[in-house]
Chains A and B, each alone.
Chain A
């Protein structure tokens, strides 16, 4: 029992480390090879976790070999376009100039239901609204609406805009994020002054966000029930 516990903790640490080395990606954004590696890692880790007769190394070595190969494969894909296409495939146009490409859809086994679902996720509900629809290599659908249906931008309407920058979380659960403060161009003195003006104590702040234009928002901690 104790052995299983220790082995599980160790394997968990190694799997987290391996995933950390692989980098950040959402499941839906995984390329086919990355998805395969992720599934294999979970499967490989499970075996020595349950079978104490199998050396831990039998689980750890394949995990790190797979991660290393995946990283090297990714590097090769960055260097060579041809290699990338060979491993990940090419994006496929399924709607071209408003016309559904039935042969292409059949070739990649992309059903009309998949297309309709992808459209709905992009707030598009009619096929005749689409100019281009592309199935990306990770299986996601990209859609470009017909020009007459696109929303005009502030630039197109000649509306002047100011850029207040990215709003950052500068306090979370009473803890000051110095790095975030630096990004928005402020310091702890500004933070203390602002909190004093708002009559809020730092330890009572649940979350505080601000941008470069000092558009800040403070949410106080709620009393525990």
Chain B
């Protein structure tokens, strides 16, 4: 019976960690997506200083949180966001607004994909 309790405890811990990973993915991807959207809007409205601040915030937030995602997500899946987060400021430095906004849009799509691919939906399970 002792082993059964170990098994039940293990399953409970794994289930809890799975829910926590879902919560973390949702929070991080949503926050990042909002920040990319903000940077995109600011850049298209011509507020480049604000866009630069947001790009810096994106970089800081991502450097703080990407380690959480990489503990349970395939590293290649989060690489795109990593590259985007680190290169946004460079695009602004080079006055390459077009690439900046494209990168923001692409990152938003990619973050949505990250969140959707982690959900225990019928399609993902099968």
Query: Separation in Å of the A81 CB from the closest CB of chain B?
Result: 18
Counting chain A CB atoms within 10 Å of each CB, the highest count among B10, B18, B70, B75 belongs to B10
The secondary structure that dominates the A interface is helix
Contacts of A57 in B (CB 8 A): 71-72
Q: Which residues of chain B have C-beta atoms less than 8 A from A64's C-beta?
A: 10, 14
A71 within 8 A of B: yes
Within 8 Å of chain B (Cβ to Cβ): is A67? yes
Closest chain A residue to B18, Cβ basis: A61
- Inter-chain CA distance A80–B42, complex, in Å, is 66
Give chain B residues whose Cβ lies under 8 Å from the Cβ of A68: 6-8, 10-11, 14
A75 to chain B: which residues have CB within 8 Å? 1, 3-4, 7
Q: Mark B66-106, 1 if CB is under 8 A from A, else 0.
A: 00001111111000000000000000000000000000000
Q: In chain A between 1 and 60, which residues have their CB closer than 8 angstroms to a CB of chain B?
A: 21, 23, 52-58
Chain B residues with CB under 8 Å of A58's CB are 72, 74
Chain B residues closer than 8 Å to A21, beta-carbon distance: 3, 6-7, 10
Residue pair A72, B8 in contact (C-beta under 8 Å): yes
A65 at the interface (CB under 8 A from B): yes
Q: Which residues of A contact B18 (CB under 8 A)?
A: 61
A23 to B3, CA, bound (A): 9
Closest-by-CB residue of B relative to A73 is B7
Q: How far is the CB of A92 from chain B (nearest CB, A)?
A: 29
Which residues of A sit under 8 angstroms from B1, Cβ to Cβ?
75
List chain A residues, Cβ under 8 A from B72: 55, 57-58
Identity of the chain A residue whose Cβ is nearest the Cβ of B69 in the assembled complex: A55
Q: Are A61 and B14 in contact (CB under 8 A)?
A: yes
Give the residue of A54, A69, A70, A72 whose beta carbon is less than 8 angstroms from that of B74. A54
* Chain A min CB distance to B121 (Å): 19
- The contact string, 1 if C-beta is below 8 Å from chain B, for chain A 156-187, is 00000000000000000000000000000000
Give the distance in Å from the alpha carbon of A31 to the alpha carbon of B119 in the complex: 35
Contact residues in B for A61 (Cβ distance below 8 Å): 14, 17-18
B48 CB to closest chain A CB, in angstroms? Answer: 36
Q: What residues on A are CB-neighbors of B17 within 8 Å?
A: 61
Cβ–Cβ < 8 Å partners of A72 in chain B: 4, 7-8
Contacts of A69 in B (CB 8 A): 7, 11
Q: Please tell me if the beta carbons of B70 and A55 are within 8 angstroms of each other in the complex.
A: yes
**Hey, which chain B residues are within 8 Å of A55, CB to CB?**
70-75
* Chain B 1-43 interface residues, beta-carbon cutoff 8 Å to A: 1, 3-4, 6-8, 10-11, 14, 17-18
Q: How far is the CB of A10 from chain B (nearest CB, A)?
A: 13
CB distance from B38 to the nearest CB of A (A): 30
Q: A55-B74, A67-B7 are in contact. List 17 more A-B contacts (CB 8 A).
A: A21-B7, A53-B74, A53-B75, A56-B71, A57-B71, A57-B72, A58-B72, A61-B18, A65-B14, A68-B6, A68-B10, A68-B14, A69-B11, A70-B7, A72-B7, A72-B8, A75-B3
Report which A residues bind B (CB closer than 8 A).
21, 23, 52-58, 61, 64-65, 67-72, 74-75
Q: Sample 9 A-B pairs with CB under 8 A, ordered by A number.
A: A21-B3, A54-B74, A56-B71, A61-B14, A65-B10, A65-B14, A68-B10, A69-B7, A71-B3
